[in-house]
Amino acid sequence: MAEHGISGKLTEAELREAVRKGEIDTVLTVFPDLYGRLVGKRIAGSFFCDEIAQEGMHACDYLLACDMEMDPVPGYRFASWDQGYGDVRCVPDMSTLRRASWLDRTALVLCDVVNEETGLPVPVAPRTILRRQVERAAAKGFLPMGASELEFFVLRETYESAKRKHFEDLETFGWYIEDYHTLQGFKVEGLIGAIRRHLEASGIPVEFSKGEWGPGQHEINVRFTDFLEMADRHAIYKQLAKEVAIQQNLAVTFMAKFDERHAGSSMHLHSSLWSVDGTQPLFAGDPPVDGNLSGAPDLFRWWLGGLMHHAPACTLLFAPYVNSYKRFRAGSFAPTAIAWSYDNRTAGFRVVGHGKSLRVECRIPGADANPYLAFAGTLAAGLDGIENHIEPPPMFQGDAYAASSLPTVPRSLPEAIRAFENSPLFRGAFGEDVVEHLVHFARTEQRKFDEAVTSWERQRYLERA
């Protein structure tokens, strides 16, 4: 029987048997990089079972110190040319072992990255960053549970055709806003249905799919679970969706703002705390009445207070790229204000549910966020709220876009970098070395953009400047 009774998950014994029968011949052995991409190797099934499952695999440490173009970036203390770009060891977390049903005779396992000499976790690895926050929560008697609502656009393109068109005038799959429209959903069900079924068959339980607030925009929601498992599901979901689209000669994009004419793509992050054994929801209570949270536990109130207090510093983890900040526009369903309200989609924090389902939905993260860092930032901020009894401000009612008195989400990547870098929370929760690493990563993204000359600039200035 598959682990936890989830179809698609595999035990090591089940993998060995599937390899013996020839049902699986490849194990995709991966870990998330700073962008949240899954990097690693395709390992022969028999070699994985005989060697890698026990010993781990090796990978170059530059994978945690490079940019999206795989350019080794100078300035990182963790890895550099001076240090020779050596190896790290990637230790399979066998609880993540699952079938990769969208790939032929393939299984997938996620790894934790450790120092080759000491065997200790590499602090700057995203999975380590999140795991350490989860361990902090467990020491206090909490199991953080959550889900990420992930949106994306489907394009009537391939990634290669988009490149040939210089990424201009890309055709969306659909020409009108299709939010909840089942007719337009039918047109792309060949892709969306395949993604849903492969998620289920790969050990990622699905709730539903729906059209979203843009032409060709869709959302597939997977079941909530503990933070680490949810981040793993999220990372696999993104790669699976792209690869299934490739198989159908289509493309999907998780850019936060892929086209200025259309809605941005979000990663609404739901969070709550449970007992360590996962049986008791610690936020269970009544929704606010007339803005009063008296029916909710203190833990819930302080958690919300921590999330809001640290929202500016967390935004770097929610919106990691220059493009991310183009999503924050009034009237777009992406937040511009740091406020909380009950079931109000104009606020940055939307309290939803009641009874056992009472929880916080943070609407700041975009679909481009690294889920491990987004969940880690959420957990660090919420725990600080509980530790210091941080009270949330009064509930906002009305249109948060029109309220000029509310604090705002950082408007640019440099603004978010400053908030994160100057936050004592993250220097304490993540460690100085991790903060320095993530700040250098973000500054590199900004530098790369600042050095580029865009088609917008040529169109505007080539003749008329």
**pLDDT per residue of the chain (465 residues) written in tens, 0 to 9:** 334 457 899 999 999 999 999 999 999 999 999 999 999 999 999 999 999 999 999 999 999 999 999 999 999 999 999 999 999 999 999 999 999 999 999 999 999 999 999 999 999 999 999 999 999 999 999 999 999 999 999 999 999 999 999 999 999 998 888 888 888 889 999 999 999 999 999 999 999 999 898 999 999 999 999 999 999 999 999 999 999 999 999 999 999 999 999 999 999 999 999 999 999 999 999 988 888 898 999 999 999 999 999 999 999 999 999 999 999 999 999 999 999 999 999 999 999 999 999 999 999 999 999 999 999 999 999 999 999 999 999 999 999 999 999 999 999 999 999 999 999 999 999 999 999 999 999 999 999 999 999 999 999 999 999
The C-alpha atoms of residue 259 and residue 253 are separated, in whole angstroms, by: 11
The C-alpha atoms of residue 149 and residue 212 are separated, in whole angstroms, by: 11
CATH architecture of the domain covering 3-122: Roll (3.10)
Say whether 60 sits in a helix, a strand or coil.
Answer: strand
- Would the CA dihedral through 23, 246, 90, 120 be positive or negative? negative
pLDDT in tens, 32-48: 999 999 999 999 999 99
User: What average pLDDT does the structure give for the chain?
Assistant: 95
The C-alpha atoms of residue 358 and residue 66 are separated, in whole angstroms, by: 40
The C-alpha atoms of residue 75 and residue 60 are separated, in whole angstroms, by: 17
Is-contact 339 363, C-beta < 8 A?
A: no
The C-alpha atoms of residue 433 and residue 338 are separated, in whole angstroms, by: 28
Domain range summary for the chain, segments of one domain joined by +: 3-122, 135-456
Is-contact 8 201, C-beta < 8 A?
A: yes
Nearest to 365 by CA among 270, 226, 248, 232: 270
Q: Which residue has the tokens 């599937």?
A: 18
- Which two structure tokens, joined as six digits, stand for 14? 């089940």
Residues written for the chain: 465
299: left (phi > 0), else alpha (psi -120 to 50), else beta? alpha
Task: Tell me which CATH homologous superfamily contains domain 135-456.
Answer: Glutamine synthetase/guanido kinase, catalytic domain (3.30.590.10)
